[in-house]
Structure 1
Amino acid sequence: MNIAVIKPLHTAIRKDVLACVVTGLVFFALPEIDIWVSKQFYDGGVFYLRENTLVTTIYHIFAKIHFAYLLVFLFALAVLSIVKNEAGAKWRKRLRFLLLVLLLVPGLIVNVGLKDNSFGRPRPVHIEQFGGQAEFTPAFVYSGECAKNCSFVSGHAAIATFVIAFAWMFGSRRLFLAGLFAGLAVGMVRIFQGGHFLSDVIFSLWVVYFGTLLLAHQYRFSMSCKNEGPIT
């Protein structure tokens, strides 16, 4: 399976930007999509897969996996600090990129900027349609019914999609597709639990995609080739 080579950032009309805008317009025009999808996993007053063993295992793994990433990256950087050859410099550059993406995109942008300080969107489990007390709020509409750790966007989907940073680092389309699949799969787990709407998951992937793209551009990593380029 192949995907189009991602175009330079200065391209006038990028297909990825267009696709993101179209996705946003769909959810803005048809917000009931979110309710319909969540209803497929709600019965008898509960999200019936919420306590499923596999679902809860995936939930707990991706709630903590960022700590594992952080420790591994910092340890590897410390070890490589004593390696003075070109290979050591190359890997230090790669690890700095991964660390920056991890901290800025799933960390700062998603979990601090969007979930805690944006639309205040209540989660599915908290709205009237699913036994809660809050009103449903469409994507991109300010609610204020949630003060912190809100529904838009999904932190779990974001950290799962973080795999695409490795795709840019190695110039691997397969890793890119694996990252998108991981983000969607973990995002679906959160939908099963009533923790997020479909739009929360989809736009979590878009945020990680564009955030990683911008940082990859700064590090001169490209999806179109193996990244053995300038070491800085």
Structure 2
Amino acid sequence: MKNKIIFWSPFFCYLIFIPISPYLDHLTTFYFYNLSEKQFVQNPLFAFFYNYGNAPAHFIGILSFLFLFLSFISPFWKKFKPFFMVTFLSLVLGPGLIINGTLKEVWGRPRPKQTIEFGGKQIFRPIYKPNFFHSIEPSKSFPSGHASMGFYFFVFIFLGIYYKIYWLAYGGMLIGSIYGSFMGLMRIAQGGHYLSDVITSAMICFYLPWLLTHLLVKKNYEGINKTSVRSITIH
């Protein structure tokens, strides 16, 4: 029961956060906005990570695809198929399809720098008030794509727990939390996203890998070994 509460606590905190998100969105965004110069933070480090910060997740995605391909043609790699299915699909479905391919394209939320408060032309829209297909310009603030590429490393939490490789689980939690938060902070500072965009990406990148691990790893591992193995289900 205790583990179950811990597991679902981020989701319930997210539900509590949503109604107050407009206030916190403005509070955090105004912190990085220079009112006298009417611009957001111009930082070489942030510019570097904006251009290249997605590379680590892309690298893991490419490796996952290659090893997944090998698992179909090599008996040795076949036993690793469930692992690489999860790492690959978590990237393709999470940051790829759900966040960048779907929500960002249809939600119609203006970026901070596109809103009147920060020198733009559009009105501020909370995350719970989408503007489907009616934006006057491309408005892709919700959710944060860059942050999702950092939070992607949450995938190793559940794989580490399932395979009892606990250093991998702790590493996934640590790297995912730090890197995802940094990437999100960077985009807030640049006027590209609100705090709620970043937190939403974290939620997707946390719970999607859990679902994939529960469905794919258990099914494939049992299919290969013909034995029942411990489920990732939180008890």
State the TM bucket, normalised to the shorter chain. 0.7 to 0.9
> Are residues 168 and 141 of structure 1, via their aligned partners in 2, closer, same or farther at CA, if it must alter by over 3 Å?
same
Contact residue 183 and residue 205 of structure 1 kept, 8 A: yes
The residue identity in structure 1 corresponding to 2:30 is K
2:84 to 82, 90, 95: 95
CA 1:134–1:114 in 2, change beyond 3 Å: closer, same or farther? Answer: same
Q: Which deviations, in whole Å up to 9, do the C-alpha atoms of 1:117-159 show, x marking residues without a partner?
A: 23x1100010011110110111211234366461110011111
CA spacing shift, 1:218–1:198, aligned 2, 3 Å = same
Matched with 1:45 is 38
For 2:196, the equivalent position in structure 1 comes to 199
Secondary structure in 2 matching 1:219:
helix
Whole-angstrom CA distance in 1 between matches of 2:21 and 2:93: 31
Are the aligned partners of 2:147 and 2:180 in contact in 1 as well (CA < 8 Å)? yes
Q: Distance in 2 between matches of 1:191 and 1:121?
A: 14
Alignment of 1:23-62 (within 5 A): 23-29=14-20, 31-43=22-34, 44-47=37-40, 49-50=41-42, 52-62=43-53
Amino acid at match of 2:88: L
Q: Which moved more, 1:24-33 or 1:211-220?
A: 24-33
Q: Report the Cα distance in structure 2 between the residues aligned to 1:30 and 1:184, rounded to whole angstroms.
A: 17
2:151 is matched with which residue? 161
Q: Aligned pair 1:209/2:206, yes or no?
A: yes
Aligned partner of 2:160 in structure 1 is 170
Count of residues in correspondence between the two structures: 211
Equivalent pair of 2:146/2:183 in contact (CA under 8 Å)? yes
Give TM-score, length-normalised by structure 1: 0.80
In the alignment, which residue of structure 1 is the partner of 2:110?
122
Q: What is the RMSD of the two structures over their aligned residues, measured on CA atoms?
A: 2.5
Q: What code does the residue aligned with 2:208 have?
A: G
Q: Structure 1: give runs of 5+ residues left out of the alignment.
A: 8-13, 222-228
State whether residues 112 and 192 of structure 2, in contact with CA within 8 Å, keep that contact through their aligned partners in structure 1. Answer: yes
Of residues 110, 116, 125, the one that matches 2:99 is 110
CA distance in 2, matches of 1:27, 1:151: 16
What is the one-letter code of the residue matched to 2:152? F
Compare the two structures and name the one with the higher helix fraction: 2
Distance 2:16 2:187 in 1: 23
The answer (yes or no) to whether the contact 1:124–1:196 under 8 Å persists in 2 is yes
Kindly indicate whether the alpha-carbon contact (under 8 Å) linking 1:93 and 1:231 is maintained by their aligned counterparts in 2: no
Question: Which amino acid in 1 is paired with 2:38?
Answer: G
- The residue aligned with 2:130 is 142
What is the distance in 2 between the residues matched to 1:95 and 1:5? 30
96-105 or 17-26: bigger deviation? 17-26
Change (3 A) 1:94 1:125: same
Aligned AA (1:139): I
Q: Percent identity?
A: 27
**SS of the residue aligned with 1:31?**
helix
